[in-house]
């Protein structure tokens, strides 16, 4: 599997925010092959405590196991057809302790933005390598956001590449620094490399990324919905 290198690359420069004890994870995906492959790929320090294949199963397993991180497929059968979004909505009470990391084969902006706005802390594509997904799981467990280059590209496309004026609603635009961070992530930089490039600490990079995630989730900016709708599927 080493040859299938992911788009992900949230960075190998871990360390900060990584909890000492092992992380408990639930895998939600409707393909058994993918679940077992992912389980084999994950680091030994990650403990898979449950699996689910449908929306209902997922909500039940998450409520029962209360994992640290849920690896969540965006497209899932069951429920009302909302897929991963619906799982997050159904587990809303646990959002403070359980973090969701979205996994998808879909490139569609609508899917990505929808699941992030529902409350996921990050988004990676399924072609990501075992080491990268492990790193992403620890990062999300530590409360940080995980942005793949593609998600960063979506954010830049949605929010525009011009920095915010003071007059703007702070949720509707990215600050100049946040834009820089997003651009570097879109260019394939790891958090560590971003930190080095901008002469800031990794912690600061993580703070910026989390701020962007918050804006992505909370912004009521109408362009964002319009933008996502314009790129919707047939």
Partner 1 sequence: MTTLPARPPLARSSDRVIAGVCSGLAAHLGWPVKNVRLGMVLASFAGGAGLVFYAWLWIMVPTADEAARRNARRPASPIAPAVSQPMPGQPIQGPATPGYPAQGAAPDAGTPTGADGSVPDGPASAAPPWFRVRGMRYGKEILLGCGLLLVAGIMIAQLLGVDVSLGTLIPAAAVLGGASIAWMQLDETRRAGLVDKTKADQAGGWGRLAAGLALVVAGVLVMVSGSGSWEQTWLALLASVAVLGGVVLVLLPWALKFWRDLEAERAGRIRETERAEIAAHLHDSVLQTLALIQRRAGNEHDVVRLARAQERELRGWLFQDPGRESGQLSDRIKAVAAEVEDLLGNAVEVVTVGDAAMTEAHEALVQASREAMLNASRHGGGTVSVYLEASDGQAEIFIKDRGPGFELGDVPADRLGVRESIVGRMKRHGGSAAILSTGDGTEVRLKLPAAAEHAEGKS
Q: Which residues bind partner 1 (CB under 8 A)?
A: 3-7, 9, 106-108, 127, 149-150, 152-153, 156-157, 161, 183, 186-189, 193, 230-231, 233-234
CB of 108 to partner 1, least distance (A): 5
In the complex, what is the shortest distance from the CB of residue 5 to partner 1, in angstroms, rounded to a whole number?
4
The smaller minimum CB distance to partner 1, of residues 193 and 206, is found at 193
Q: Give the nearest distance from C-beta 95 to partner 1 in angstroms.
A: 29
Give the residue from 135, 110, 106, 136 showing the smallest Cα distance to 122. Answer: 136
Which CB sits closer to partner 1, 41 or 157?
157
Q: Shortest gap between Cβ of 154 and partner 1 (angstroms)?
A: 9
Q: Which is nearer to partner 1, 2 or 97 (CB)?
A: 2
What is the rounded CA–CA span in Å between residue 47 and residue 67?
Answer: 10
Residue 213 burial (10 A CB sphere; 0-12, 13-18, 19+): buried
Beta-bridge partner residues of 81: none
- DSSP classification of residue 25: E
Distance of CA 181 to the CA centre of its chain: 16
Of 52 and 158, nearer to partner 1 (C-beta) is 158
């Amino acid at each position: 599997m080493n040859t299938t290198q992911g788009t992900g690359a949230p960075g190998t420069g871990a360390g900060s925010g990584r909890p000492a004890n092992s992380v408990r994870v639930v895998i939600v995906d409707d393909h058994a092959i993918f679940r077992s492959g992912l389980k084999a790929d994950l680091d030994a320090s990650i403990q898979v405590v449950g699996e689910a294949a449908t929306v209902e199963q997922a909500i039940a397993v998450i409520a029962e196991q209360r994992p640290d991180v849920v690896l969540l497929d965006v497209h899932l059968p069951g429920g009302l057809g909302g897929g991963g979004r619906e799982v997050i909505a159904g587990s809303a009470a646990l959002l403070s302790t359980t973090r969701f990391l979205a996994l998808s084969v879909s490139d569609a902006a609508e899917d990505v933005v929808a699941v992030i706005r529902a409350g996921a802390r990050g988004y990676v594509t399924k072609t990501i390598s075992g080491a990268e997904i492990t790193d992403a799981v620890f990062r999300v467990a530590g409360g940080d956001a995980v942005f793949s280059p593609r998600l960063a590209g979506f954010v830049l496309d949605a929010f525009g590449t011009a920095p915010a004026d003071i007059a703007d609603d702070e949720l509707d635009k990215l600050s100049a620094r946040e834009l820089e961070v997003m651009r570097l992530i879109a260019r394939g930089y790891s958090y560590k490399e971003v930190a080095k490039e901008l002469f800031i600490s990794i912690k600061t990079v993580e703070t910026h990324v989390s701020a962007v995630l918050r804006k992505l989730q909370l912004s009521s900016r109408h362009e964002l919905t319009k933008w996502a709708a314009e790129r919707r599927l047939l």
